[in-house]
């Protein structure tokens, strides 16, 4: 079982993908001593409107520098919705010597299109991972399920992503069984922490034989954030499943805890509600921000939306 | 299944059992609208050395006032180590009209003595709950296990307390089966959140038929804190197991979130380590506070202690 730390990528949602150079150096140095195989350091993307920082575009010199400071396998992720197969070569070939794996964040509705992109990335010589979102809805995505066996021979890892942070251990088991009924691909799990179930779900995924799991230092990541790397490592160390230098872990956790004081990621009532009800957390947060909506009316409205009713 | 909220009692560890009157009023008012049956509002105790606030002693006028403001069943807890059966009448009889249930925090090593106290409290006409600590070590406490059937007819609830915050769902199941093999008493579960497993463990306890579970608003409680009441309620509401007014919940969560900014309860690396390894968190925290110990040496020393070796 392998661990992928995606602090800079998923944490970037809070800093617009800018991080202090000293913090990144400390992160890379500490991670050298921790049992983490892959570091996802950000996105690669064509220019998008608005300002997006260094770790959203990861230009070649940045990747070169990161690679010079780390012996870990570096990973970048693409937003499938923004990248076509025809763009892959221009976007990825230049960074070939510095990046081991390319992940794709995929809406199951676009799965067919994603397969073309994946094929292209594989041909360029990268390890390829599918990060397929909204795992709690897959059962209902017949077209997606019918295409699942097409990942064989293309995907090195097929990730189940708990986008809403709303799944429970029994859902993780069920989804693993569902995917396994279609393909023999190696599996990954990317949890979110809306319901503080990220560790429980990840441990069940590991117990079920998943090959790779994601975590971030202090759980830094979009919305309610991710499984905390320090929590996963502490739990597995106590179970004698791995061993590492706690001082190095404490160092990097301390550094990101300082950043946490500024940005305050982690779960909170609106995130819990969105997780528990599989409602889009972006919308819950926006509406809660506007104080003139009551909590009850927000939840009612979002539930109505989910049921396909008109808002009122 | 019933819910007991023990915010004032367990949260008192952070405020020395003093709370702003306005906050307590808001708490009582909001809880009126939430599906919580019992409110544990603090300790009862003979005078102890050092300053301990209002909700540690709960003098009669305070309990009267609390009861006048709440329709909920009020609960007080005793530290069994500080209270003998002979003290029960003096300590509890005066508050008889205001308190429904008395809980006892019990070290399994003192279980025989606790049974005498429980018998006395029962005779005084209270509901009685045993909060037996260190559930992860019960398997090895033969004397305690042999006495377990003595709770029948005395205890209204028998709580398993995850004192170290280190148990996992499979441990909860195993402990429930162990207790059920000895007694037919109604069961309770009191989790801690060192490993962010409080919800996962509590949901498993509920699934296994436990009759009562504990939580606190924002998880306020000793060390890494407790299961968050708002998380439990949000999860159960989404599963259609209960229904309530989210605006009331949001109000009380907001109020305690302000207090959280001052005291910052919740898990952190030292608490994770103590939880994962069943080490006393008090000691981990004290040692980490003294910055000249490295994290590695602390863990080594504590593990040695646990194994009965001499520190070095």
> Which candidate in B227, B295, B300, B306 is best for mutational testing of the A interface (most A CBs within 10 A)?
B295
Q: Which residues contact A140 (CB under 8 A, 6 or more apart)?
A: none
What's residue A291's pLDDT? Answer: 57
A169–B200 C-beta distance less than 8 A: yes
The per-residue pLDDT string of chain A (312 residues; one tens digit each, 9 = 90 and over) reads: 999 999 999 999 999 999 999 999 999 999 999 999 999 999 999 999 999 999 999 999 999 999 999 999 999 999 999 999 999 999 999 999 999 999 999 999 999 999 999 999 999 999 999 999 999 999 999 999 999 999 999 999 999 999 999 999 999 999 999 999 999 999 999 999 999 999 999 999 999 999 999 999 999 999 899 999 999 999 999 999 998 988 899 999 999 999 999 998 999 988 898 899 888 767 776 766 665 567 777 777 666 665 544 433
Q: Which is nearest to B267 in space by CA: A267, A59, A10?
A: A267
For helices A269-276 and B229-238, angle between their N-to-C axes, nearest 10 degrees:
20
> Which candidate in B197, B238, B306 is best for mutational testing of the A interface (most A CBs within 10 A)?
B238
Number of other CB atoms surrounding residue B305 within 10 Å: 14
| ipTM reported for the complex, 2 dp | 0.93
A200–B234 C-beta distance less than 8 A: no
Nearest to B231 among A168, A238, A272 (CB): A272
A169–B169 C-beta distance less than 8 A: yes
Number of other CB atoms surrounding residue A16 within 10 Å: 13
Q: Calculate the alpha carbon distances from B33 to A304, B219, B251 in Å.
A: 24, 19, 11
Distance from CA of B277 to the nearest CA of A (A): 6
Q: Name beta bridge partners: B228.
A: B216
Burial label for A133, CB within 10 Å (0-12, 13-18, 19+), is buried
Please say whether the beta carbons of A80 and A115 come within 8 A.
no
What's residue B291's pLDDT? Answer: 57
Q: Which residues contact A160 (CB under 8 A, 6 or more apart)?
A: A132, A135, A172, A175, A176, A179, A187, A188, A189, A190, A205
DSSP chain B: -EEEE-HHHHHHHHHTT---HHHHHHHHHHHHTSS--EEEEEE--S--SS---HHHH--HHHHHHHHHT--SEEEEEEEGGG--GGGHHHHHGGGTTT-SEEEEEE-GGGHHHHHHHHHHHHHTT-EEEEEE--GGGGGG-HHHHHHGGGGTTT-SEEEEE-TTS---HHHHHHHHHHHHTT--PPEEEE-B-TTS-HHHHHHHHHHTT-SEEEEBGGG--STT-B-BHHHHHHHHHHTTS----HHHHHHHHHHHHHHHHHH--S--HHHHHHHHTT--HHHHHHHHHSTTS-HHHHHHHHHHHHTTPPP-
Q: Give chain B's mean pLDDT.
A: 93
Residue of chain A with shortest Cα separation from B274: A234
What are B264-281's pLDDT values in tens digits?
899 998 889 889 988 876
């Amino acid at each position: 079982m392998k661990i992928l730390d995606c602090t800079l990528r998923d944490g970037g949602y809070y800093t617009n993908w800018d991080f202090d150079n000293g913090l990144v150096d400390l992160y890379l140095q500490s991670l050298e001593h921790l049992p983490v195989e892959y570091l996802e350091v950000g996105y690669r993307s064509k220019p998008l409107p608005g300002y997006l920082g260094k770790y959203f575009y990861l230009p070649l010199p940045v990747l070169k520098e990161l690679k010079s400071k780390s012996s870990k396998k570096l990973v970048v992720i693409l937003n499938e919705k923004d990248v076509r197969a025809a763009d892959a070569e221009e976007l990825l070939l230049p960074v070939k010597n510095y990046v081991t794996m390319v992940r794709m964040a995929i809406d199951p509705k676009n799965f067919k299109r994603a397969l073309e992109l994946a094929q292209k990335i594989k041909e360029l010589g990268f390890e390829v991972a599918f990060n397929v979102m909204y795992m709690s809805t897959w059962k209902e995505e017949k077209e997606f399920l019918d295409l699942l066996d097409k990942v064989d021979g293309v995907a090195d890892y097929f990730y189940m992503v708990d986008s809403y942070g709303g799944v429970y251990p029994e859902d993780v088991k069920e989804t693993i069984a569902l995917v396994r009924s279609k393909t023999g691909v190696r599996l990954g799990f990317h949890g979110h922490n809306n319901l503080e179930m990220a560790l429980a779900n990840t441990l069940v995924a590991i117990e079920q034989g998943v090959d790779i799991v994601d975590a971030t230092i202090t759980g830094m990541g979009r919305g309610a954030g991710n499984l905390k790397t320090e929590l996963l490592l502490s739990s597995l160390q106590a179970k004698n499943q791995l061993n590492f230098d706690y001082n190095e872990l404490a160092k990097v956790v301390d550094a990101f805890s300082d950043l946490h004081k500024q940005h305050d990621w982690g779960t909170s009532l609106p995130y819990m509600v969105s997780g528990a009800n599989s409602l889009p957390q972006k919308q819950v947060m926006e509406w809660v921000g506007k104080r003139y909506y009551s909590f009850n009316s927000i939840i009612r409205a979002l539930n109505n939306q989910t049921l396909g009713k008109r808002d009122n």
